[in-house]
C-alpha cells in the first residue's frame, strides 16, 4: 500500500485531535507531494520539477517552510494537469494536419508553423 493510504488510515483511526496528529498530517501531505512527483511524465524537461517535488515533500515532513511546500504542490498539480491537456491538443492538431495534408512531412511542418 502507498504512503498516502497509510497516512490516511492513521488519520482516520484517531478519534480526537492529539498532539501528534500534526505529524500524521505532515506525513500525509509529504506522501501526496511524493506521489505527485511519481506522476510527472518521463520528459527530460520535467526532471527538475520531479526533483523539486521530492525536495518539497521532505521539507514538508520535517516542518521546514510548510506553506511554501504546500503552495508548490498545488501549483505543480495545476501545471501537470495543463501539461496533459496541451499534450492531448497537440496530438489532435497533429492528427488533423496529417489528415489534411496526407503526408507526414507536410503535417509536421504545418504543426510546427502553428
16, exposed or middle or buried, with CB in 10 Å at 0-12, 13-18, 19+? exposed
Confidence (pLDDT) at 24: 63
Mean pLDDT (whole number) for 66-80: 80
Q: Give CA–CA dist 76/68, Å, rounded.
A: 12
Which of 23-28's residues contact partners 24+ apart within 8 Å by CB, and which partners?
A: 26/60, 26/61, 26/63, 26/66, 27/3, 27/61, 28/4
* The model scores a pTM over 0.85: no
Q: In this predicted model, which residue has the larger pLDDT, 44 or 102?
A: 44
Confidence (pLDDT) at 21: 53
> pLDDT, tens digit, for every residue of 15-72?
544 445 566 666 777 788 888 888 888 888 888 888 888 887 777 767 666 777 777 7
User: 8-12, 18-22, 27-31, 88-92 — which is least confidently predicted?
Assistant: 18-22
Read off the pLDDT band of 85 (50, 70, 90): very high
Confidence (pLDDT) at 14: 60
Confidence (pLDDT) at 17: 46
SS (H, E, C) the chain: CCHHHHHHHHHHHCCCCCCCHHHHHHHHHHHHHHHHHHHCCCCHHHHHHHHHHHHHHHHHHHCCCHHHHHHHHHHHHHHHHHHHHHHHHHHHHHHHHHHHHCCHHHHHHHHHHC
Q: In this predicted model, which residue has the larger pLDDT, 86 or 34?
A: 86
Amino acid at each position: 500500500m502507498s504512503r498516502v493510504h497509510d497516512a490516511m488510515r492513521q488519520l482516520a483511526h484517531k478519534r480526537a485531535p492529539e498532539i501528534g496528529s500534526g505529524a500524521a498530517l505532515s506525513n500525509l501531505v509529504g506522501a501526496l507531494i511524493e506521489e505527485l512527483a511519481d506522476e510527472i511524465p518521463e520528459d527530460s524537461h520535467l526532471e527538475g520539477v520531479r526533483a523539486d517535488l521530492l525536495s518539497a515533500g521532505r521539507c514538508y515532513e520535517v516542518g521546514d517552510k510548510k506553506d511554501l511546500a504546500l503552495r508548490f504542490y498545488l501549483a505543480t498539480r495545476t501545471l501537470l494537469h495543463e501539461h496533459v491537456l496541451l499534450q492531448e491538443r497537440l496530438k489532435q492538431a497533429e492528427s488533423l494536419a496529417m489528415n489534411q495534408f496526407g503526408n507526414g512531412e507536410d503535417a509536421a511542418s504545418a504543426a510546427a508553423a502553428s
